[in-house]
Amino acid sequence: MAPIRLLVGCVLALQVFTAALALERGCPTGTGNNTYANPALSLPYDGYLPAIDNETMYLHHTRHAGGAINNVNAILARYPTLRDSVTLADLVSKIGLKGFTHKYKIADNDTTALRNNAGSMINHAIFWRIMTSYNTSSPAAHLQPDLSALINATWGSPAGMLDALRSSASSLFGSGWAWVVYRSNGSLAIVNTPNQDNPLMQRFAAPATHGTPLLGVDVWEHAYYLRYRNVRASYLAQWVYLVDWAVVQRNYELAKAGSIDSLYC
């Protein structure tokens, strides 16, 4: 009986280990073979009205964000060790670093492609999660005292934080993102990153923008052009009413704990 119990024990341990690996890999996944899948939205495409129209959400989610995921899967197929052993957050954080590039023998053109497409994956996964239905979430109902006090000390109020985020996003030249980030010293800051760069990127994000994203707003024109044309400020004025403060609080707790992969799951 002892060998059977030992075998059963080994099988259970392997199952737990395998489950842990799958969890640690992070989201968005869903294909069962360590490739990535486009995460579902929490609302239907018309659930973001009146801030964002359903056609924009459909195209943004399926074509732009979905296209980046397809590109990442195609690149990682050439690097199975990288695909099978590195989480999305770790990939985004370390892409372009010499040691990381050398370890996985990543070609220069694939480094650039992963910067753009894996950056898009994590950026959009955070973006989808941070939004809820229009004007239904309030900071008073969801922020815990420590985060509320930190926001108030930094910007005067949650509304002041969103005003500062809108101002920063409006000032960004060209395409990119505006973020509220948590820094290792316990402070909060608003930063901008160009294109699909992310504040986690050690190699490509400017040091002044480094931090863990708590929320981010997409200011590529594909995020708003059908409804707002080129008037980014009008989009931002409406977008702030989609912020899910419960997720802001959740992301803050995860950032403090260093659970970066859970931010976009």
Confirm whether residue 64 is marked as ligand binding.
Answer: no
d(CA 239, CA 50): 9
d(CA 178, CA 193): 7
Phi and psi at 179, nearest 5°, equal -130, 150
Confirm whether residue 124 is marked as ligand binding.
Answer: yes
Confirm whether residue 90 is marked as ligand binding.
Answer: no
Confirm whether residue 142 is marked as ligand binding.
Answer: no
Q: Which residues are annotated as a binding site?
A: 60, 124, 218, 222
Q: Which residues are annotated as a binding site for Mn(2+)?
A: 60, 124, 218, 222
